[in-house]
Amino acid sequence: MKAQLVVDQVSGKIICTAYGIGRIHDFRLLKNTKVRFHDSQLCLADKGYQGIAKIHAISCIPAKKPRGANLSPANRQHNRNLAQLRIVGEHINRRLKIFRILKEQYRNRRKRFGLRCNLIAGLLNYELALFS
């Protein structure tokens, strides 16, 4: 089971969740679930979403290291800045892994995986609303 989250950068709330059955590539899951971003929104993604610039113009992914060479200092700085922006989403992933829904192999009924992820996302959003 594969889960994909769209997180608001400012508030840290989970906006959208999408799920895939079995082993599926991150970018293919994004294309299949028809998750779309507004044209003015910045999309921050990891290296699993190479090619997202074709779908969404304002998107950033980390620079890849060229084969047999090192990253240039400019690309290295770009990756560091991007990681500092993406940390909000990574903290949300950590909070979902506390519930062990994303951490381990899901052993219950597949039909309920999406429901349980949405419930946990709702709990996390509610908790954020209480403490902010």
For 51-107, the pLDDT digits (tens) are 888 888 889 999 989 899 999 999 999 999 999 999 988 898 888 888 877 766 766
In the chain, the amino acid numbered 12 is G
User: 125: which 2 tokens?
Assistant: 């959003």
Q: What is the pLDDT of residue 103?
A: 66
Which residues on neighbouring strands pair with residue 44, listed in sequence order? 60
Give residue 47's pLDDT band: very low, low, confident or very high (50, 70, 90): confident
Helix (H) or strand (E) holding 122: helix 113-131
Contact 43, 35 (CB under 8 A): no
Angle at 63 (CA atoms; ends 42, 33), nearest 5 degrees: 50
The pTM of this model reads 0.77
Angle at 110 (CA atoms; ends 109, 114), nearest 5 degrees: 115
User: 62: which 2 tokens?
Assistant: 């980390």
Contacts of 47 (CB under 8 A, 6+ apart): 61, 62, 64
Quote the percentage of the chain above a pLDDT of 90. 23
Q: What is the pLDDT of residue 70?
A: 93
Contacts of 39 (CB under 8 A, 6+ apart): 57, 58
Span 27-46, average pLDDT: 85
pLDDT per position as a tens digit, 102-131:
766 766 777 787 788 888 899 999 998 898
Q: What is the pLDDT of residue 107?
A: 66
Q: In whole angstroms, give the CA distance from residue 99 to residue 126.
A: 15
